[in-house]
Amino acid sequence: MSAAPPPPPPESPVAAAAGGGDKVLAAAQHIVKSLATSKNAADDMIRILSGFDNRLSQITSDLFPSPDLAADSDERGNPLWGQISAAAFDAAEQLIQVWDGTPEALVFEATEDEVAEYLSAVDVAIEHLAQELRHLMVRHAVPLDPTGLFFSLRRLSLGSMDDLDTSSEFDAATPHSIDVAPETARGGPLVNPFEDQVFDPVRPEAVDDLRAIADRMARAGYSRELADAYCGIRRDLLDEYLSALGVERLSIDEVQRIEWKHLNDKMKKWVQAVKTVVRVLLAGERRLCDQVLSVSDELREECFIESTKGCIMQILSFGDAVAVCPRSPEKLSRILDMYEALAEVIPEMKDLCLGSSGDGVISDVQANLDRLGDAIRGTLFEFGKVLQLESSRRAMTAGEIHPMTRYVMNYLRLLVVYSDTLDALLDDDADDQIDLARAEDQDQEHLESMTPLGKRLLKLISYLEANLEEKSKLYEDSALECIFSMNNLLYIVQKVRDSELGKILGDHWVKRRNGKIRQYSKSYLRISWMKVLSFLKDDGHGSGSGSSSGSGSGHSSSRMSIKEKFKNFNLAFEEIYRNQTTWKVPDPQLREELKISISENVIPAYRAFLGRYGSQVDGGRNSGKYIKYTPEDLESQLSDLFEGAPGPANHSRRRT
């Protein structure tokens, strides 16, 4: 008995459907029209279909749309839900249903062309899912309102180096300042403004649909397509969020060309943006990845890094640009703000980047932080050089506080706000090690226990003191030199005593400077008033009674000598009055103490001299020419000293 003939090969679903006549032709035509991307592709598909049924050769390619239509897209470059996409999806669906309706037929037992056709239909379905994913994320994206995120951070912009006036009175690299209270440097302690901030970048009602799409694409082996679709949309939206936060994409050259006023604003926005990006935006992206891409831990980590890397790199690029900008003192506190903001969020970034894929990003962030730290150390070093080399030769006319003194002391008080950060950054800086053997006026035990910042501050103040000492030598009048030195040293002491600088430098330092101020005061009194008082010395001219105990010529000589003394006293006093009323002692307590010291030396001596010898001149001819002032007159005129403006022409109340 002969063997039964082998069963015929399974008929392809397309051939089985041929009995449908025109229906088959219409279906095939629809498939070609939907799947073809060019006229050549359409011709190839017609040729393949004709191999199954010669009736299909009747399909004409001129029925197909122009390939340009297939490239239609929205403003993001993603395919729209237009006629072509919908038609392609419908055609693919019909083809798959034909195969699914013939369970005994296996796709990969069909011809190569049929396999390719089936896989193309599956690709269309997957692309449709990817488009759905993009569409849902865009449609349900939550806009960012930066106003609500920034209100708690505004205090960061209070005080700081931008409060230091940029007057030309001092070297352009280190302009002088207005007085700034240390407690306003950064507005006091900051609470975490993000404790209750939860930002979900996609509305919750879309999350389940997004997860359903992601699950199916990943399980069907289309993880790469899923990642591309997901990351592309998230990157675009994060770019928009950065723009809303005021973070621009700037090159290093562009940053270096920005004027300080505008760069200062951008640095403040950057500080705000860093915390907002990490604690709000990246935290939101982390939650979205965990929810939508839960199908795969590896995919979830990859997509989080790929989605956020561009945003992070844009943030870091500005930090790098600032770090390599020319060193100038006014930038220091802003760079410190940037450094602290970045250092603060690094641990949080590590928590967000759970897998090893985030190691590279964290490494880049740390490198950026290190470069900002180098910029801080370099700026402090340059500031010290400026203090040492500043050599303006114009003396302060009234002996008042030099702009450099104001600038430096307010600058140092603001630096103390960053003491923890600066102590860490300066810890290994060999340049900060002060030669203890040369610190003759510093308590050695306290000096050895000072922090790295304390030693640096002590060094900077010593540079300032040395510079001021050189500037004091510009005065031809030694008395004005003393006033200048007193004013500036007192200002330094007050700024130290009334701030954290006092704790850092110690009581011994303050006492030493107070002692120097007293020495300057004594020197001023000696230089200014020694000559004036010399005219009031009792050198044996008469008894003060007006009688004569000698010859007439002797008595006449004595009277002439006394008149000369009164005259010389008047001239010397008036010269001092004329000059020193224009001198300025800004501190009211020091000004009053100086006036009291002058009065205690001059008024009693004048009263005694007037009481002893006034009668020999008073009542005589032109006596008012010699005795021009009462002690009260002098007291009144002394009250006009050190006010920084010329006093009245004549305070005399004595009648001539």
- Could you tell me the sign of the dihedral formed by the alpha carbons of 314, 318, 320, 321, in that order? positive
> 79 pairs with which residues across the strands?
73
Asked if residue 309 lies in contact with residue 361, where contact means CB atoms within 8 angstroms, the answer is: yes
Confidence of residue 20 (pLDDT cuts 50, 70, 90): very low
Place of tokens 């009995």: 19
How many CB atoms neighbour CB 222 within 10 A?
21
What is the arithmetic mean of pLDDT over 556-566? Answer: 85
Longest Cα–Cα distance in the chain: 184
Mean pLDDT of the chain: 78
Residue 609 has pLDDT above 80, yes or no: yes
Asked if residue 544 lies in contact with residue 612, where contact means CB atoms within 8 angstroms, the answer is: yes
Confidence of residue 428 (pLDDT cuts 50, 70, 90): low
Residue 71 has pLDDT above 90, yes or no: no
Provide the 3-class DSSP secondary structure of residue 228: helix
Confidence of residue 52 (pLDDT cuts 50, 70, 90): low
Which amino acid would we find at residue 249? R
What is the arithmetic mean of pLDDT over 529-542? Answer: 82
Provide the 3-class DSSP secondary structure of residue 437: helix
Query: What 8-state DSSP symbol labels residue 161?
Result: G
| HEC assignment per residue over 229-251 | HHHHHHHHHHHHHHHHCCCCCCC
Q: Which of 119-133, 201-215, 304-318, 411-425 has the lowest mean pLDDT?
A: 119-133
| Calpha distance 545→320 (Å, rounded) | 88
- Could you tell me the sign of the dihedral formed by the alpha carbons of 346, 351, 355, 357, in that order? negative
Asked if residue 644 lies in contact with residue 582, where contact means CB atoms within 8 angstroms, the answer is: yes
| Calpha distance 520→472 (Å, rounded) | 12
The predicted structure's pLDDT at residue 448: 78
The predicted structure's pLDDT at residue 439: 53
Q: What confidence tens digit (pLDDT) does each residue in 287-321 have?
A: 999 999 999 999 999 999 999 999 999 999 999 99
Torsions phi, psi for 251 (to 5 deg): -80, 170
The predicted structure's pLDDT at residue 417: 93
The predicted structure's pLDDT at residue 63: 45
Confidence of residue 616 (pLDDT cuts 50, 70, 90): confident
Q: What confidence tens digit (pLDDT) does each residue in 232-291 have?
A: 999 999 999 999 888 888 888 999 999 999 999 999 999 999 999 999 999 999 999 999
The predicted structure's pLDDT at residue 425: 94
Torsions phi, psi for 73 (to 5 deg): -155, 165
Residue 577 has pLDDT above 60, yes or no: yes
Asked if residue 289 lies in contact with residue 304, where contact means CB atoms within 8 angstroms, the answer is: yes
Higher pLDDT, 20 or 643: 643
| Calpha distance 626→608 (Å, rounded) | 16
Nearest in space to 179 (alpha carbons), one of 501, 599, 495: 495
The predicted structure's pLDDT at residue 420: 93
Place of tokens 């349900």: 140
Nearest in space to 142 (alpha carbons), one of 248, 241, 229: 241
| Calpha distance 133→149 (Å, rounded) | 28
The predicted structure's pLDDT at residue 127: 82
b/e 236-259 (16+ beta carbons within 10 angstroms → b):
bbbeebbebbebeebeeeebeebe
What is the arithmetic mean of pLDDT over 375-403? Answer: 90
User: How far, in Å, are 16, 582, 646 from residue 309 at the CA level?
Assistant: 53, 64, 67
Residue 470 burial by CB count (10 A; 0-12/13-18/19+): exposed, middle or buried?
A: exposed
How many CB atoms neighbour CB 546 within 10 A?
15
Residue 584 has pLDDT above 80, yes or no: yes
| Calpha distance 338→335 (Å, rounded) | 5
Which residues are within 8 A (CB) of 378 and not within 5 positions of it... i.e. 6 or more apart? 327
Total H helices, total E strands in the chain: 26, 0
Domain limits, CATH 1.20.1280.170, in the chain:
530-539+556-639
The predicted structure's pLDDT at residue 144: 84
Higher pLDDT, 330 or 83: 330
Higher pLDDT, 94 or 608: 608
Higher pLDDT, 591 or 7: 591
Q: Show the tokens assigned to 465.
A: 């003191």
Residue 650 has pLDDT above 50, yes or no: yes
Q: Which of 27-41, 362-376, 396-410, 447-461 has the lowest mean pLDDT?
A: 27-41
The predicted structure's pLDDT at residue 192: 47
The predicted structure's pLDDT at residue 68: 39
Using CA atoms in the order 537, 541, 543, 548, what is the torsion angle rounded to 10 degrees? -170
Percent pLDDT > 90 in the chain is 52
Q: Which of 124-138, 456-470, 482-496, 631-645 has the lowest mean pLDDT?
A: 124-138
Q: Show the tokens assigned to 154.
A: 């505004």
Higher pLDDT, 356 or 81: 356
Q: Show the tokens assigned to 325.
A: 């900008």
Q: Show the tokens assigned to 619.
A: 């009542």
How many CB atoms neighbour CB 182 within 10 A?
19
Q: Which of 68-77, 330-339, 340-349, 452-461 has the lowest mean pLDDT?
A: 68-77
Q: What confidence tens digit (pLDDT) does each residue in 28-50 have?
A: 665 655 555 445 555 655 665 56
The predicted structure's pLDDT at residue 44: 56
Confidence of residue 484 (pLDDT cuts 50, 70, 90): very high
Beta strands in 270-424 (DSSP E): none
What is the arithmetic mean of pLDDT over 2-6? Answer: 45
Asked if residue 411 lies in contact with residue 380, where contact means CB atoms within 8 angstroms, the answer is: no
Asked if residue 28 lies in contact with residue 63, where contact means CB atoms within 8 angstroms, the answer is: no
The predicted structure's pLDDT at residue 489: 97
The predicted structure's pLDDT at residue 230: 96
Torsions phi, psi for 226 (to 5 deg): -60, -45
CATH topology of domain 530-539+556-639: Monooxygenase (1.20.1280)
Q: Which of 199-203, 427-431, 526-530 has the lowest mean pLDDT?
A: 427-431
The predicted structure's pLDDT at residue 625: 79
Which amino acid would we find at residue 585? V
Question: Which pTM does this prediction carry?
Answer: 0.73
Asked if residue 217 lies in contact with residue 126, where contact means CB atoms within 8 angstroms, the answer is: yes
